[in-house]
Structure 1
């Protein structure tokens, strides 16, 4: 069975400080109710790039303290500051995270040799396994199949969080590297990713939508493509509604409707408006209410 990971959100207080109690609630809900296979901690959904170093450390410590070894944990340690990435890689390894991940370095149009050095440096001094976080739509960095091959020459680099709509490249990567871990990162494209034999998926909406996504995986494995297609349609309807309502704060607002105190997003992301709150209530009633 393919694995499903929720991309863990970070609960913030109104003043922008980390709300540890909220993080613990979200971790517990994902373990006890969603029954996901793992959590991706410190990624885009976790608002990692809006956080200070100390806040990142706080989130990593809180998440694993609550989760323990109940599920798989992947810590996203990528940063434009390579020294910070290396420091976080050591920290999370010492905390017990069994895998780390790192976004491709962005903004400065790095050469591939610089990107390769970044990944090799992150894993050089830690006894851990790294999953490349490839998300070209946000980083502007697209890696080719041959560049992935060069990165995979390092035995500590074990796979890809593939958040990319290029399904031709995904098919090529899957077939060239059958033993590498490939996890789909676009929730709205889960079904075509399953068709290309990914090992699982990581996504933000799985915090709310894990049961439907897991049912889709089961339907696909059982050959019931019509059912899988219908489940993907409903998921995509929900995703469209979340995007229209401002997805990051809306994920947290819907979580609140589900009884999970997810806090607020951190500025410069939006704070909830009355219209946004009303929209989130409708999304909850339309797609997630039992």
Structure 2
């Protein structure tokens, strides 16, 4: 479970329903044009936390049907409702997803033991491989090395989606657990994550720049850091504009400019502004 995984966007119709045709186009674009090694389905990039359980299931099903076994699939099933997370995990497992992932329980200040027991229940109920989704900046959950040790030694935990800029911790974790998979989660510093021995990366901008992410990943394996830095710098020029106008909105607009139906945003997200559309057009040559 290594390499570049796109955190898949979800195209919606104006009424908030899934745009199935657009979703299939986005999947094909990621596999056929971006050349990524896998898809991370149901993450925040897919506007997952705005969706009903049945809608999440529909997305898992459409993506699996379109992908088959062409690339690896990871289903993000995290929810504060453990019953929902388990149901989604069983559903994705039955569909044939290669692994599950779950964001650490957030909002309430859960103790470490409560969080550990959350993962243990998910693992025992689904029987699938688990990738812990650690993103302290959004969840407020920042595992120490000792806590990571306990989490990584749970049965079926194969690794971590590490969305954190603590490179010392990343280096220590990979040194201590070389058999585990660490997928880096910040697109704009992906190169640094790979240099600190991450096994790959998961990112939203890979929907439109996955080929560049794959190039960086390959160049790091070849120890061609200077060449990789040039590509990272190019990506960051694009990401800078995306952040100003909305990352997900910008990705969908770029896909539309490529002839792919990126669809609408899910309420309460707003659509890309007119100014944003003009700015996105200007960065197309960088993409």
TM-score range, shorter chain: over 0.9
Question: For the residues of structure 2 that align with 1:222 and 1:151, how far apart are their CA atoms?
Answer: 32
Deviation at 1:221, TM superposition (A): 2.1
Question: How do 1:130-169 residues align onto structure 2 when only pairs under 5 Å count?
Answer: 130-169=130-169
DSSP 3-state at the match of 2:126: coil
CA offset digits 1:172-218 (Å, max 9, x no partner): 11111111010001111111111111111110011111111222222
User: Alpha-carbon deviation of 1:2?
Assistant: 5.3
Question: How far apart, in 1, do the equivalents of 2:277 and 2:45 lie?
Answer: 19
8 Å CA contact 1:22–1:262 kept in 2: the answer is: yes
Question: Does 2:20 align with 1:28?
Answer: no
8 Å contact from structure 1 (residues 2, 217) kept in 2:
no
C-alpha displacement of 1:42? 0.2
The residue aligned with 1:80 is 80
1:10 alignment partner in structure 2 = 10
Q: Give the TM-score, by structure 1 length.
A: 0.96
Q: Does the CA contact (< 8 Å) of 2:4 and 2:217 recur in 1?
A: no
Partners of 2:154 and 2:53 in 1: CA distance: 27
- What SS class does the counterpart of residue 236 from structure 1 fall into? helix
In 1, the alpha carbon distance for the partners of 2:283 and 2:77 equals 32
- After TM superposition, give the deviation of residue 114 of structure 1 in Å: 0.6
Question: Residue 123 of structure 2: SS of its match in structure 1?
Answer: helix
The separation in 2 between residues aligned to 1:2 and 1:99, in whole angstroms, is 12
In the alignment, the residues of structure 2 paired with residue 202 and residue 269 of structure 1 have an alpha-carbon distance, to the nearest angstrom, of 22
Q: Is the 1:254–1:283 Cα contact (8 Å) retained in structure 2?
A: no
Distance in 2, matches of 1:2 and 1:117, equals 27
Q: Which runs of 4+ in 1 moved over 6 A?
A: none
Q: Secondary structure at the match of 1:45?
A: helix
1:248 match: 248
Residue 126 of structure 1, CA deviation: 1.9
Contact 1:9–1:46 (8 Å) recurs in 2:
yes
Q: Output the aligned Cα RMSD.
A: 1.2
The separation in 1 between residues aligned to 2:219 and 2:103, in whole angstroms, is 31
Distance 1:84 1:176 in 2: 33
* C-alpha separation in 2, matches of 1:216 and 1:101: 24
Match of 2:277 in 1: 277
Q: For the Cα contact (< 8 Å) 1:134–1:164, is it kept in 2?
A: yes
- Aligned runs of 1:179-198 on 2, under 5 Å? 179-198=179-198
The higher-RCO structure (CA 8 Å, 6+ apart) is: 2
Q: After superposition, what is the alpha-carbon deviation per residue over 1:25-68, rounded to whole angstroms, capped at 9, x for unaligned? A: 11111111111100000001111001111111111111101111
Number of equivalenced pairs:
287
Could you list the per-position Cα deviations for residues 217-258 of structure 1 after superposition, in whole angstroms to 9, with x for gaps in the alignment?
Answer: 222222222111111111111111111121111110011111
> C-alpha separation between the residues in 2 aligned to 1:66 and 1:223?
35
The whole-number CA distance in structure 2 between the counterparts of 1:73 and 1:112 is 28
